[in-house]
Amino acid sequence: MTNQNEQIIETTDENGNKVTFELLDIVTVEDVEYALLLPTDEKDSDEGEILVMRLKKEGEEFSFEVIDDDEEFNKIAEYIEELEDETED
């Protein structure tokens, strides 16, 4: 059974393989949007690890970009941890 609120996104990776994710949330950090994604295919999943990717809009199309910059990634990770701490209180 599929959750009605579940948003499944199908995309193509850099090798041309289809990959599906559940879109958990979109967060904005310093005016840049990032998607929190959970792989739906067990072989693509690393024990339920959530992926964070930069969300880029080109006209009506959306794409996901890998975050290669450690400083940018750490900034986003800290923001997400703060959000988690707030929701636990």
Question: Which of these, 64, 21, 13, lies nearest to 41 by C-alpha position?
Answer: 21
Q: What is the pLDDT at residue 52?
A: 92
What pLDDT was estimated at residue 42?
Answer: 61
Q: Could you state, in order of their start, the residue ranges of all structural domains in the chain?
A: 8-88
Contacts by 81-89, CB closer than 8 A, 24 or more apart? 83/27
pLDDT computed for residue 37 by the predictor = 92
Q: Measure CA of the first residue to CA of the last residue in the chain; give whole Å.
A: 31
